[in-house]
Amino acid sequence: MNLFQEDDDFLNMSPEDKLFEIISVANETVVQAELQKIFDKYVVMESMLESQMGEEELEKKLNAKIYDPSEEFRQEKFNFAMTLMSQIASQAE
């Protein structure tokens, strides 16, 4: 399976778009395992943050980050997408 096409599509896509493309063609078991890890981490982090600041305050802070993203947030999203792509692609059959 060729996860990365030979042309310049990869260079013209955002990391998130490329991640979604890779997820659609990668081994389903690998994708499910990686998504399960993310799901587990998310649930734990959300629970910890809610207990520290309360649900309302957490939602307010999350929305502020998501809907008014800083350069740091965009870079973190980029890094996350690249890392997840790498983890999925490295396990490709």
pTM of the model: 0.75
Instruction: Name the band, by pLDDT with cuts 50, 70 and 90, for residue 93.
Output: low
Q: Supply the Cα-derived Rg of the chain in whole angstroms.
A: 16
* CA 18 and chain centroid, separation: 11
Q: Tell me the per-residue pLDDT of 17-56, one tens digit each, with 9 for 90 and over.
A: 999 999 999 999 999 999 999 999 999 999 999 999 999 9
Give the residue extent of every domain in the chain: 37-93
Average pLDDT over residues 10-15: 75
